[in-house]
Amino acid sequence: MEKPEKSTILPDDEYLTNEELRTLWDVLSQQLEEILSESRENIESFTEQRELDADQLDLAVTESNRDFALRLADRERRLLRKIKRAMERVQNGEYGTCQSCGAAITFPRLMARPVATQCIDCKTEMEQLERPKRIFAS
């Protein structure tokens, strides 16, 4: 039995129009820019903190701020990577298609989460699979 074409499974309007794609590209660009400027601010405040540290600032406070800055930087790096990948997918025409099942990811979902790589069904399924399992419990 032949597999039906995608277009017969889903109505055409579920796929992104060029206009929607442009809107999402703008959202991604904006997020990229925001993260980059936030990172710069963090690095600057971190640097300031180190200078204050030399002037006998409460070390504990400085340390926790530093940890916070590092954690934030890590989170930003991950998001940055996701955004860059999403932009690559826009460029090679894969954006807006679920990487698990090939179905269209809807425009509202992408507006809410522009870095989404899966449709809501696959995402939900994945989250259920990712839940802690009791396989290793005796």
Site of tokens 């990712």: 130
Give the interface segment with Zn ion, choosing from 11-19, 21-29, 38-46, 122-130 (CB under 5 A): 122-130
CB of 126 vs Zn ion, minimal distance in Å:
9
The single-letter code of the amino acid at 46 is: F
**Do 103 and 12 form a contact (C-beta atoms < 8 A)?**
no
The residue count for binding Zn ion (CB under 5 A) is 6
CB of 103 vs Zn ion, minimal distance in Å:
5
Q: Cβ closer to Zn ion: 9 or 70? A: 9
Q: Cβ closer to Zn ion: 62 or 100? A: 100
CB of 86 vs Zn ion, minimal distance in Å:
16
* Residues facing residue 97 across a β-bridge: 104
**Do 103 and 119 form a contact (C-beta atoms < 8 A)?**
yes
| Contacting residues for 121 by C-beta, under 8 A, at least 6 apart | 101, 103
Q: Cβ closer to Zn ion: 31 or 97? A: 97
> Considering Cα of 97, then 103, then 108, then 114, what sign does the dihedral take?
negative
Of 86-115, which residues contact Zn ion (CB under 5 A)? 98, 100-101, 103
Chain residues in the site for Zn ion (CB under 5 A)? 98, 100-101, 103, 119, 122
